[in-house]
Amino acid sequence: MTDKDQSGNPKFKTHETLAKYDMNNIAISTICSHSALQIFHGAKQEGFRTIGITKSEVKEFYDAFPNASADEYIIVSDYREILKPAFQNNLVKENAIIIPHGSFVEYVGADAIQQVLYVPLFGNKTSLKWESNRDRLGQWIQASGLRFPKEYSSTEEIEGLAIAKLGGAKGGKGYFLVSKGKKVSKDYTLQEYVVGVRYYPHFFYTPLSRTGLAAGEGSIELLSIDKRIESNIDEIYRLGMTRNELTEYGIIPSFVVTGNMPVVVREALLPKLMTMGRRIVESSLKLFYPGIVGPFCLETICTPSLEFVTFEISARIVAGTNLYPIGSPYSPYIYDEPMSMGRRIASELRLAIKKNMLEKIVS
């Protein structure tokens, strides 16, 4: 990706691979985790072959869902094997396009995906680097004019409450609340704790059509919304204890993501949320070429004054979309067919193949 094209934009090495693909025989591939059932299910609905990358002990659990299992599996003992030329060449031979999800990015690494992977990848791999670096993430959210929680460089600066977070997509592991003056290790980012309720809207940005809300040269669709369920924080109220009492019993509040629940937002708030999605897309077009492509999610908190504060961007499919394999409370307003995010990705690939525009949505 060090080369540039005539306009001075970076050239994706994967586009050379893509040029040799048999467009009538594309396969969709990902690691069997996170949202792979949904991705395979959607790919099959759109008529693609599917290739699961998995550890041997996991395969049978995917096969137990026949409509969402992969047609073929490649067994690995370590997901970093994906980066080896022999492995990649095998996927290339199969005309495979990889769909990156949260576990894919975590297991393979955003840097390796950008520097070493030459198998074509759905979406813009540069956006995966932006979501996983806290400084860039903050820059992106603020360049979009969205409210971002304050960050503190020491606990002395904290006003009210802060949440201490480890870097990277760790699923909430090791997060905890801190107040002014408490001691915290240097590995943690200190972020203002915004009091409200969480909403995670799931957007899809297509550069290929303007049927959704106009953004850049394409448009965005709001396909669904979820809320995460974190252990043990989301049931800790059942104990009726203050943090001091919890400490006495050796119970430490923790924020480990374990699952998701479906929600809708007040309809009067949709324009706000969708404007936020649009701004995230439009600032991405300026921050990194060619900007965000495909699914993304804003992790927000809705305050009592009905303001949304955005504390994270996921620049790829999120696990919250797993709630909606045959559609959500919003997707029927856009699509006649049952439309999951997994299927939406596949239908975008289908359209791009037909229009001979795959290079716009693959990197």
**Which residues in 250-269 contact a copy of itself (CB under 8 A)?**
250-254, 256-269
Query: Distances from the Cα of 254 to the Cαs of 171, 178, 250, 293, in angstroms?
Result: 11, 12, 12, 33
CA–CA–CA angle 246, 250, 256 (5° rounding): 80
Judged by CB under 8 A, does residue 169 bind a copy of itself? no
Nearest to 115 by CA among 205, 2, 197, 226: 2
Judged by CB, which is closer to a copy of itself: 74, or 257? 257
Report the nearest approach of a copy of itself to the CB of residue 157 (Å): 16
Report the nearest approach of a copy of itself to the CB of residue 171 (Å): 8
Using only C-alpha atoms, the chain has a radius of gyration, in whole angstroms, of 21
Within 196-215, the residues that bind a copy of itself by CB under 8 A are: 196-199, 211-214
Tell me: cis bond preceding 295? Omega within 30 of 0 counts: no
Tell me: cis bond preceding 260? Omega within 30 of 0 counts: no
Beta-carbon contacts of 221 under 8 Å, excluding residues fewer than 6 positions away, are: 203, 204, 206, 211, 212, 213, 334, 344
Alpha-carbon span 155 to 141, nearest angstrom: 23
Looking up tokens 């229009």 gives 355
Report the nearest approach of a copy of itself to the CB of residue 61 (Å): 4
Quick check: helix, strand or coil at residue 164?
Answer: strand
Point out which span in 22-30, 81-89, 142-150, 332-340 binds a copy of itself (CB under 8 A): 332-340
Q: Which two tokens stand for residue 212?
A: 């959704």
Judged by CB under 8 A, does residue 11 bind a copy of itself? no
Return the residue of 7, 20, 237, 356 that touches a copy of itself, per CB under 8 A.
237
Judged by CB under 8 A, does residue 168 bind a copy of itself? no
Q: Are 80 and 57 in contact, with CB atoms under 8 Å apart? A: no
Judged by CB, which is closer to a copy of itself: 15, or 272? 272
Q: Are 74 and 53 in contact, with CB atoms under 8 Å apart? A: yes
Within 115-144, the residues that bind a copy of itself by CB under 8 A are: none
Return the residue of 230, 282, 312, 348 that touches a copy of itself, per CB under 8 A.
230
Report the nearest approach of a copy of itself to the CB of residue 134 (Å): 21
Point out which span in 10-18, 58-66, 183-191, 347-355 binds a copy of itself (CB under 8 A): 58-66
Q: Which two tokens stand for residue 193?
A: 């704790």
Judged by CB, which is closer to a copy of itself: 92, or 162? 162
Within 82-101, the residues that bind a copy of itself by CB under 8 A are: none
Judged by CB under 8 A, does residue 166 bind a copy of itself? no
Quick check: helix, strand or coil at residue 12?
Answer: coil
Alpha-carbon span 353 to 355, nearest angstrom: 5
**Quick one: DSSP state of residue 78?**
S
Report the nearest approach of a copy of itself to the CB of residue 321 (Å): 10
Report the nearest approach of a copy of itself to the CB of residue 330 (Å): 7
Compute how many residues bind a copy of itself; rule: CB under 8 A: 98
CA–CA–CA angle 53, 58, 60 (5° rounding): 105
Judged by CB, which is closer to a copy of itself: 25, or 67? 67
Within 296-315, the residues that bind a copy of itself by CB under 8 A are: 302-306
Judged by CB under 8 A, does residue 324 bind a copy of itself? yes
Point out which span in 15-23, 29-37, 84-92, 279-287 binds a copy of itself (CB under 8 A): 29-37
Judged by CB under 8 A, does residue 189 bind a copy of itself? no
**E strand or H helix at 59:** helix 59-63
Judged by CB under 8 A, does residue 109 bind a copy of itself? no
